[in-house]
Amino acid sequence: MDKKERYMERAEHTILHTYNRFPVVIDRGEGVYLYDTEGRAYLDFGAGIAVSALGYGDVEYEKALAGQIGKVLHTSNLYYNVPAIEAGEKLLKASGMERVFFTNSGAEAVEGALKAARKYGRKKYGEERCEIIAMEHSFHGRTIGALSVTGNEKYQEPFRPLMGGVKFAKFNDLDSVQSLMNGRTCAVIAETVQGEGGVYPAKKEFLEGLRRLCSERDILLILDEIQCGMGRTGSMFAWQGYQVEPDIMTTAKALGCGVPVGAFVLGRKAASFSLEAGDHGTTYGGNPLACAAVSAVFDRYETLHLLEHVRRVGAYLEERLNELVEKNSCLKERRGIGLMQGVEVQGLPAGEIISRALDSGLLLIAAGNNCIRFVPPLVIERGHIDKMVKILQNCLQEL
């Protein structure tokens, strides 16, 4: 038994088996490559599920974390701390919104957003104003509240009964949403670009229509930017590319670039008329170490001109994936924006392609029913895209 197999056996005897992991034990990262315990390199087009936007080994980011570790790791929310203040200011500046609440994960950010929306409806209209409209094929997290607005039976079924008062509309179908609205509706929640559901961007007219309907009826619009935000589409937040501002936004993943942190961010209306002191809290949220990471991430995005970079290399990734689809009959179509792309597979399992790519030193992840998802570090270059396409083309030919 080699070193890798020994590690894997130890994990199977220690960690609850809720993940079907690939047979790789990751040891370290450098640039846009990950290395296993055997020293083998993998070109990373998954970025830890769209988390590691800066790649691996960004010196300035690591300096910021090391500096904070030398000061204090945790204080609780009984006291103010400087990193949380600075991170909050930078997040509000980037979003143009009003108030932020830091969480430990994306699922917690969704939970907070749902609580804020329900409190808004209750304060203005009474306890009957509590229903939420979510989207089919969506994914918002695995806690009970987040799962309740996740439009996928596979994730929901083992844990029923879930939170009540949730209805599901068809994504990109405004009439479907409007037909579910009534005097009890307090919020509509949607991903600006559906990720787990198969990489489906919202249509501009759909988001504009949601904004109009919600404004007319004083319903809060919640946009989930956990995966598609933080520059992945070429705008800091995907909704900015549509010029449709939500009342509440959730963010996480690349917000900390590997340090576990999330946030829900409220616009003026939601901030002024929802959660109050004592309504919500978390021991670790706004932790100095996590917020030092957030602050450093915004600084690095600015220094590296990362949004402009994503727009350039994102266009090139689209071009190369379109060529791949045209060349291979087993690939049906490409979907996505910027460095959040999906290619739908037909005629063979996407998982088989992903496994073959792994054997060839390329990390890819799946989405939806049969879709390969491409969410690399945002610092990826054209040469990395060419190498990925070459490996993937060879895998398709072998299969």
Q: Are 226 and 113 in contact (CB under 8 A)?
A: no
Q: Do domains 3-54+305-398 and 61-303 have the same CATH topology?
A: no
Mean pLDDT, all residues of the chain: 97
pLDDT higher than 80, residue 351? yes
**Residue 200 near residue 275, CB atoms below 8 Å:** no
Whether 358 and 334 have beta carbons less than 8 Å apart is answered as no
The token pair at 201 is 């961007």
User: Tokens representing 5?
Assistant: 């197999």
Res. 2 pLDDT band, cuts 50 70 90: confident
* Structural fold of domain 3-54+305-398: Aspartate Aminotransferase, domain 1 (3.90.1150)
Task: Give the lowest-confidence range in 14-18, 66-70, 213-217, 226-230.
Answer: 14-18
Per DSSP bridges, beta strands 220-224 and 362-363 are unpaired
* Structural contact between residues 299 and 58, judged by C-beta atoms closer than 8 angstroms: no
Domain boundaries, the chain: 3-54+305-398, 61-303
pLDDT tens digits along 217-239: 999 999 999 999 999 999 999 99
- The token duo for 277 is 């002191």
In DSSP notation, 170-233 reads -TT-HHHHHTT--TTEEEEEEESEESTTT-EEPPHHHHHHHHHHHHHHT-EEEEE-TTTTTTTT
**Confidence bin at 94 (pLDDT 50/70/90):** very high
The percentage of the chain sitting over the pLDDT mark of 70, rounded to a whole number, equals: 100
Q: What is the rounded CA–CA span in Å between residue 399 and residue 4?
A: 27
| Residues 72, 395 contacting (CB under 8 angstroms) | no
> Residue type at 177?
V
Give yes or no for residue 17 having a pLDDT over 80.
Answer: yes
CA 341 – CA 313 distance, rounded (Å): 12
Residue 3 has pLDDT above 90, yes or no: no
Place 57 in a pLDDT band, splitting at 50, 70 and 90.
very high
Is residue 1 scored above 80 in pLDDT? no
- Whether residue 364 contacts residue 46, with contact meaning beta carbons closer than 8 Å, is answered with yes
CB 375 within 8 A of CB 385: no
Confidence of residue 95 (pLDDT cuts 50, 70, 90): very high
| CA separation for the pair 163, 141 (Å, rounded) | 14
What angle (nearest 5°) sits at the alpha carbon of residue 337, between those of residues 334 and 343? 20
Q: Is the pLDDT assigned to residue 50 strictly greater than 80?
A: yes
Q: Which two tokens stand for residue 366?
A: 């799946």
Task: Tell me 159's DSSP state.
Answer: G
DSSP 58: -
The per-residue pLDDT for 166 is: 98
Topology given in CATH for the domain delimited by 61-303: Aspartate Aminotransferase; domain 2 (3.40.640)
> In DSSP terms, which residues pair with 45 in a beta bridge?
none
What local confidence, expressed as pLDDT, does residue 211 receive?
98
Per the CB < 8 A criterion, the answer to whether 304 and 379 are in contact is yes
State pLDDT tens for residues 151-186.
Answer: 999 999 999 999 999 999 999 999 999 999 999 999
Average pLDDT over residues 11-30: 94
Mean pLDDT of 19-33: 95
Residue pLDDT, tens place only, 243-296:
999 999 999 999 999 999 999 999 999 999 999 999 999 999 999 999 999 999
- For residues 130-139, give the mean pLDDT: 98
Residues of the chain with pLDDT > 90, as a percent, come to: 98
Q: What is the mean pLDDT of residues 98-102?
A: 98
CA distance 248 to 269: 9
Mean pLDDT calculated for residue range 41-50: 98
Q: Would you say the pTM of this structure is higher than 0.85?
A: yes
**Rounded distance, CA 25 to CA 40, Å?**
10
